């Protein structure tokens, strides 16, 4: 039984005890009770990505894209499935197959956008985030992609044309190697704008002997042509041979790198190469998809993420050569 004095002390302390109780309630549980802080729930996981491009299997350019995508997958713990097809209809089927398998993300090049519109639309409708690469910058957002990674082909062509004009060249031949490829057309259009004017020549990359013959014929029929711009590293080697066989004084420049292009620049038979750093076109989309799936991040602010143009010439070719040899440039 409490004494009278104890009861009086408790009555005096009651208001302070009440305040302490309220403060304790506001402060919540103690640090020991609360446990570690929890991160926000992830939107989703990125376990698998299908990369589907328009290049032919085994093409040196697309092998570098593939290497970039697979390296990103290894770094991020994502399974990357790479496939390519030169035929737009077959590329569309590859996209449809990936959608049917339920991949977590899709990376696709749009060299022939109209042929792929329906298939890409199916991916978007299925809730699969899409990143476009290399070609199709102008329709990427329209098709529902969360971003585009590549080189603005028209701007790159313009820069190449200006560079050839600055070298004192007067008449340019631009060689288009693939009919219907909007990226190739944009490159030549940009080169024409940057250079001032250009003659275009349509060839078929699948027939290398004919490519060389056609370039040689163009040079022999118009001796005023003093610059040749090819849009593909494989065509560049044919153009170099055509210049030699025709005894033309024209210089050759090209888009894209491979071992032959590096050797030709070192030998002085190629003036420069426009490098779009396609390793980034494989690597960066996987990162973008990972960030989007886990944190709803988007990259680029609605604009394409540019990977070029970068120029390789006599001044830096020896440094870049080792990277080309390891298939990362």
Distance CA 13, CA 29 (A): 24
Which CATH number belongs to the domain containing residue 132 in this structure?
3.40.50.2300
Mean pLDDT taken over the chain? 89
The DSSP call for residue 139 is G
- Residue span of the structural domain in which 145 resides: 48-151+277-298
Q: What backbone torsions phi and psi does residue 280 show, to the nearest 5 degrees?
A: -65, -30
**Claim to verify: residue 172 and residue 233 sit in the same structural domain:** yes
Tokens read off for 5: 């004095």
**What stretch of H or E contains 133?**
strand 130-133
**Claim to verify: residue 74 and residue 212 sit in the same structural domain:** no
**Per-residue pLDDT at 42 exceeds 70:** no
The answer to whether residue 329 is domain-embedded is no
Distance CA 74, CA 78 (A): 6
**Claim to verify: residue 126 and residue 224 sit in the same structural domain:** no
CA 63 to chain centre: 13
Task: Specify the pLDDT at position 180.
Answer: 81
The answer to whether residue 251 is domain-embedded is yes
**Claim to verify: residue 235 and residue 217 sit in the same structural domain:** yes
**Claim to verify: residue 135 and residue 283 sit in the same structural domain:** yes
What global pTM score does this model have? 0.78
**Claim to verify: residue 266 and residue 183 sit in the same structural domain:** yes
The answer to whether residue 160 is domain-embedded is yes
Classified as helix, coil or strand, 168 is coil
Q: How many domains does the chain have?
A: 2
Those residues with Cβ within 8 angstroms of residue 3's Cβ, 6 or more apart along the chain or in another chain: none
**Claim to verify: residue 135 and residue 207 sit in the same structural domain:** no
Those residues with Cβ within 8 angstroms of residue 233's Cβ, 6 or more apart along the chain or in another chain: 60, 61, 254, 255, 256, 257, 258, 260, 261, 273
Q: Where are the strands (E) in 240-315, listed by range?
A: 251-255, 273-275, 305-306, 310-312
How far the first Cα of the chain sits from its last, in Å, is 89
**Claim to verify: residue 58 and residue 142 sit in the same structural domain:** yes
The answer to whether residue 159 is domain-embedded is yes
**Claim to verify: residue 178 and residue 239 sit in the same structural domain:** yes
Asked if 85 and 300 touch (Cβ cutoff 8 Å), the reply is: no
The answer to whether residue 43 is domain-embedded is no
What is the mean predicted confidence (pLDDT) over 250-254? 98
The answer to whether residue 39 is domain-embedded is no
pLDDT digits (tens, 9 = 90+) for 102-147: 999 999 999 999 999 999 999 999 999 999 999 999 999 999 999 9
Residue 3: pLDDT band with limits 50, 70, 90? very low
Pairing of strands 273-275, 310-312: antiparallel
**Per-residue pLDDT at 43 exceeds 80:** no
**Claim to verify: residue 232 and residue 246 sit in the same structural domain:** yes
The answer to whether residue 8 is domain-embedded is no
The DSSP bridge partners found for residue 254 are: 230, 273
**Claim to verify: residue 147 and residue 282 sit in the same structural domain:** yes
The answer to whether residue 42 is domain-embedded is no
Pairing of strands 310-312, 305-306: unpaired
pLDDT digits (tens, 9 = 90+) for 21-31: 433 333 333 33
Cis peptide before 309 (omega within 30 of 0): yes
**Claim to verify: residue 242 and residue 291 sit in the same structural domain:** no
Tokens read off for 226: 């003093």
């Amino acid at each position: 039984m409490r004494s009278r004095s104890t009861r009086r002390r408790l009555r005096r302390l009651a208001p302070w005890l009440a305040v302490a109780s309220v403060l304790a309630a506001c402060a919540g549980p103690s640090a020991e009770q609360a446990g570690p802080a929890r991160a926000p729930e992830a939107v989703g996981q990125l376990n698998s990505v299908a990369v589907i491009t328009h290049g032919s299997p085994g093409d040196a350019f697309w092998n570098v894209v593939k290497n970039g995508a697979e390296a990103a997958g290894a770094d991020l713990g994502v399974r990357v499935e790479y496939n390519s097809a030169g035929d737009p209809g077959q590329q569309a089927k590859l996209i449809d197959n990936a959608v049917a398998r339920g991949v977590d993300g899709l990376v696709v090049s749009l060299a022939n956008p109209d042929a792929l519109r329906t298939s890409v639309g199916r991916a978007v409708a299925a809730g699969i985030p899409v990143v476009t690469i290399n070609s199709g910058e102008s329709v990427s957002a329209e098709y529902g992609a969360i971003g585009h990674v590549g080189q603005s082909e028209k701007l790159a062509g313009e820069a190449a044309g200006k560079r050839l004009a600055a070298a004192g060249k007067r008449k340019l031949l631009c060689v288009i190697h693939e009919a219907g490829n909007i990226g190739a057309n944009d490159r030549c259009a940009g080169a024409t704008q940057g250079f001032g004017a250009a003659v275009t020549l349509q060839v078929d990359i699948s027939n290398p002997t004919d490519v060389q013959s056609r370039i040689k014929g163009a040079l022999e029929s118009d001796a005023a042509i003093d610059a040749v711009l090819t849009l593909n590293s494989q065509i560049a080697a044919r153009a170099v041979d055509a210049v030699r066989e025709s005894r033309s004084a024209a210089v050759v420049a090209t888009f894209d790198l491979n071992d032959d292009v590096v050797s030709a620049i070192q030998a002085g038979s190629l003036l420069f190469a426009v490098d779009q750093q396609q390793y980034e076109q494989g690597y960066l989309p996987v990162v973008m998809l990972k960030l989007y799936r886990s944190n709803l991040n988007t990259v680029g602010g609605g604009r394409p993420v540019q990977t070029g143009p970068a120029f390789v010439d006599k001044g830096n070719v020896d440094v870049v050569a080792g990277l080309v040899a390891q298939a990362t440039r």
